[in-house]
């Protein structure tokens, strides 16, 4: 390794630390609980050619990998000749951002000694963007909220007062939304100072040589990892709940030397409801699944993403056309790693997990006073819950864990502090993980009730209610999810529904699939599962033939 390569490697490591500070700054300054509690965000540094050089570890693959494409749209639409110091740009266009209106991407150019050298970009999920609210019921994107085209949030340091007024007038939570916009802009500005310090320390005035090194090194390492796979065609099919009808997703992986393509031909057509996925989000989670299985050691950037070629037929549910509703595109999007894993398992058996709950069980709660004349304020809050992950060849699945999104569990106390609800129960769901040599991870049970004087509407955006996570190599499927009131009333897995005062909503989240023949699970592990209440004694007998 040359001296220049050593310098570049040191600077590369520093850049990763710089953008991680960008992400954590956003967490500290955000107004929405989805960002400051769950970390539903992304942050990264881009060169002049809009190539992502480094990304913060804090954040989600859907945001990060979609943002990796979006900066190029900003450069084209703003125009290089219109980029000035002090500018801040933004959009929530689902097809040019990260897949739905609730994600706002902010891009800020960075300059050194008066010369433009690159961009910082970040994305955050906002609790409200107007329209129907965060849920799947719309029939067009126009119903789902305010679409902000790529435009200037700040022009040479002056924030657009007209944009702020328009947004304030069209959302239910203007303080949270406007606060989050300033948070996004501020984290880009704050981290720019860290970049300037680093560049001064190493005596460089532009990022081009460093960016080329990062891009080529990462791309070559990823191609080398693909080259280790057996050539061939490998396919997988998965059926999930959809909205009014099940959706079928099909992928074929083609591995040829150091080239890998994923084609989703044959996948179901678009839905009338907001479960559709813009192709940018399909690419984001497909690349994540493939890279995490094939080249997990390579840092995530434009170079390591370039070798994966992803395509879906325009107009299918994974490549939705405007103006399709796309509000809850994360549901099908979160299944994509499991879908490509199923195909990869045929190429490299034993390297990927069984299917998991995968899609977050997000719930948007709109609390309203039972008496309109009471003067009690309305409230909007978003809660994230996770089911179990699939078991792996050598270890059990993880319980109540957000894979593939990676968001954190939201604190009950923080949620109750900003919304008139009570969370009465939040515990692991006994017996929900699929049986196997390695057991699937458990889902959880959550019970939520409106406080005195309130009722609430909730937007259900759940899956695996009708289609459980499948086991692998003889492992059993995980338990399906259930949505109900505690009095036994069955509720729907998707759509806006009412919980009246005095009633309590119960969510029973799905578990992950098991891996391997249950008969081969060690007696000690089965006994420990019974003692720990992961499974019942009856399940131990029925699934594992275990008797004390």
pLDDT of residue 39: 82
pLDDT of residue 41: 86
Provide the 10 A C-beta neighbour count for residue 485.
Answer: 17
Joined together, the tokens standing for residue 387 give 């089911």
* HEC secondary structure over 239-276: EECCCCCCEEEEEEEEEECCEEEEECCCCCECCCCCCC
pLDDT of residue 307: 96
**For residue 349, what are the CA distances in angstroms to 224, 256, 353, 516?**
19, 18, 10, 12
Boundary residue ending a domain (193, 219, 245): 219
- Omega cis (within 30) before 323: yes
* Helix (H) or strand (E) run with residue 505 in it: strand 505-508
**For residue 138, what are the CA distances in angstroms to 182, 247, 327?**
29, 18, 8
Boundary residue ending a domain (189, 219, 249): 219
Beta carbons of 285 and 64 less than 8 angstroms apart? no
| Distance in angstroms (rounded) separating the CA atoms of residues 66 and 281 | 6
Are 523 and 376 part of one and the same domain? yes
> For the chain, what is the domain count?
2
Burial class of residue 520 (count of CB atoms within 10 Å of its CB; 0-12, 13-18, 19+): exposed
In a domain, 475, yes or no: yes
Q: How many helices (H) and strands (E) does the chain have?
A: 12, 19
Nearest to 461 by CA among 388, 324, 364, 367: 364
In a domain, 290, yes or no: no
Q: 200: which residues sit within 8 A by CB, 6+ positions away?
A: none
**Domain residue limits at 192:** 3-219
**For residue 297, what are the CA distances in angstroms to 7, 134, 166, 327, 401?**
20, 35, 45, 33, 22
* Helix (H) or strand (E) run with residue 224 in it: helix 208-227
In a domain, 538, yes or no: yes
In a domain, 277, yes or no: no
Joined together, the tokens standing for residue 24 give 């954590």
Provide the 10 A C-beta neighbour count for residue 111.
Answer: 16
* Helix (H) or strand (E) run with residue 450 in it: strand 444-450
Which residues does residue 55 pair with via DSSP β-bridges, in sequence order?
Answer: 44
> Where does 171-207 have alpha helices with state H?
174-202
Half-sphere exposure of 423 (CA within 13 A, CB side): 22
Strands 247-256 and 232-240: antiparallel
**DSSP per position, 204-222:** -S-SHHHHHHHHHHHHHHH
Joined together, the tokens standing for residue 312 give 């879906």
Provide the 10 A C-beta neighbour count for residue 113.
Answer: 9
Strands 308-311 and 259-263: parallel
**Residue bearing tokens 């902010």:** 106
Strands 505-508 and 444-450: antiparallel
Joined together, the tokens standing for residue 206 give 């532009």
pLDDT of residue 94: 98
In a domain, 28, yes or no: yes
In a domain, 279, yes or no: no
**For residue 311, what are the CA distances in angstroms to 319, 385, 434?**
9, 30, 32
Burial class of residue 534 (count of CB atoms within 10 Å of its CB; 0-12, 13-18, 19+): buried
pLDDT of residue 159: 97
Q: 431: which residues sit within 8 A by CB, 6+ positions away?
A: 442, 479, 511, 534, 535, 536, 539
Beta carbons of 429 and 385 less than 8 angstroms apart? no
Which residues does residue 422 pair with via DSSP β-bridges, in sequence order?
Answer: 449
Question: pLDDT by residue for the chain (548 residues), tens digit each?
Answer: 566 788 899 999 999 999 999 988 988 998 888 888 878 889 999 999 999 999 998 889 999 999 999 999 999 999 999 999 999 999 999 999 999 999 999 999 999 999 999 999 999 999 899 999 999 999 999 999 999 999 999 999 999 999 999 999 999 999 999 999 999 999 999 999 999 999 999 999 999 999 999 999 999 999 999 999 999 999 999 999 999 899 999 999 999 999 999 999 999 999 999 999 999 999 999 999 999 999 999 999 999 999 999 999 999 999 999 999 999 999 999 999 999 999 999 999 999 999 999 999 999 999 999 998 888 999 988 899 999 999 999 999 999 999 999 888 888 998 899 899 999 999 999 999 999 999 999 999 999 999 999 999 999 999 999 999 999 999 999 999 999 999 999 999 999 999 999 999 999 999 999 999 999 999 999 999 999 999 999 999 999 998 87
3-state helix, strand, coil in the chain (%, to 5): 35, 25, 45
In a domain, 287, yes or no: no
**DSSP per position, 360-411:** --EEEEEEEESSTTS-PPPEEEEE----PPPP-SSSPPPSS--TTT-PPPPP
pTM of the model: 0.95
pLDDT of residue 13: 92
Boundary residue ending a domain (201, 219, 237): 219
């Amino acid at each position: 390794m040359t001296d220049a390569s050593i310098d570049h490697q040191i600077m590369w490591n520093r850049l990763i630390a710089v953008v991680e500070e960008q992400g954590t700054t956003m967490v500290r300054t955000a107004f929405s609980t989805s960002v400051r509690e769950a970390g539903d965000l992304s942050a990264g540094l881009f060169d002049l050619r809009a190539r992502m050089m480094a990304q913060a570890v804090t954040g989600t693959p859907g945001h990060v990998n979609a943002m990796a494409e979006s900066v190029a749209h900003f450069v084209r639409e703003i125009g290089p000749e219109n980029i000035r110091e002090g500018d801040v740009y933004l959009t929530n266009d689902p097809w040019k951002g990260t897949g739905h209106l609730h994600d706002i991407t902010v891009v800020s150019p960075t300059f050194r000694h008066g010369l433009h050298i690159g961009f910082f970009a970040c994305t955050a999920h906002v609790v409200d963007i107007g329209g129907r609210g965060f849920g799947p019921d719309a029939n067009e994107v126009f119903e789902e909220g305010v679409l902000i085209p790529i435009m200037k949030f700040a022009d040479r340091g002056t924030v657009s007062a007209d944009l702020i007024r328009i947004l304030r007038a069209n959302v239910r939570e203007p303080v949270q939304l406007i606060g989050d916009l300033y948070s996004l802009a501020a984290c880009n500005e704050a981290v720019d100072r860290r970049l300037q310090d680093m560049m001064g320390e190493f005596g460089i005035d532009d990022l081009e040589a460093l960016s080329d090194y990062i891009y080529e090194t990462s791309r070559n390492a990823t191609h080398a990892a693909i080259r280790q796979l057996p050539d061939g065609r490998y396919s997988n099919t998965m059926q999930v709940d959809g909205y009014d009808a099940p959706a079928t997703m099909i992928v074929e992986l083609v591995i040829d030397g150091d080239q890998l393509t994923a084609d989703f031909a044959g996948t179901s057509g678009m839905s009338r409801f907001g479960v559709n996925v813009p192709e940018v989000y399909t690419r984001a989670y497909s690349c994540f699944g493939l890279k995490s299985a094939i080249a997990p050691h390579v840092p995530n950037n434009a170079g390591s993403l370039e070798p994966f070629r992803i395509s879906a037929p325009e107009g299918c549910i994974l490549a939705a056309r405007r103006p399709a509703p796309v509000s809850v595109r994360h549901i099908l999007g979160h299944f994509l790693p499991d879908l490509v894993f199923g195909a990869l398992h045929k190429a490299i058996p034993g390297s990927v997990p069984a299917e998991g709950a995968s899609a977050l069980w997000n719930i948007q709660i709109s609390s309203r006073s039972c008496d309109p004349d009471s003067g009690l304020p309305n409230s909007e809050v978003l809660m994230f819950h996770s089911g179990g992950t699939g078991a792996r060849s050598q270890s059990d699945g993880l319980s109540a864990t957000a894979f593939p999104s990676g968001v954190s569990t939201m604190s009950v106390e923080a949620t109750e502090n900003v919304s008139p609800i009570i969370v009465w129960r939040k515990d692991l769901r006994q017996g929900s993980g699929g049986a196997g040599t390695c057991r699937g991870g458990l889902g959880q049970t959550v019970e939520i009730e409106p406080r005195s004087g309130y009722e609430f509407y909730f937007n259900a955006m759940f899956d695996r209610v009708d289609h459980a996570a499948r086991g692998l190599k003889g492992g059993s499927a995980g338990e399906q999810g259930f949505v109900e009131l505690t009095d036994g009333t069955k509720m729907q897995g998707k759509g806006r529904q009412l919980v009246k005062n005095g009633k309590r909503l119960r969510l029973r989240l799905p578990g992950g699939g098991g891996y391997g023949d249950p008969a081969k699970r060690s007696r000690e592990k089965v006994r420990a599962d019974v003692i720990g209440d992961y499974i019942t004694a009856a399940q131990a007998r029925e699934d594992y033939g275990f008797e004390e």
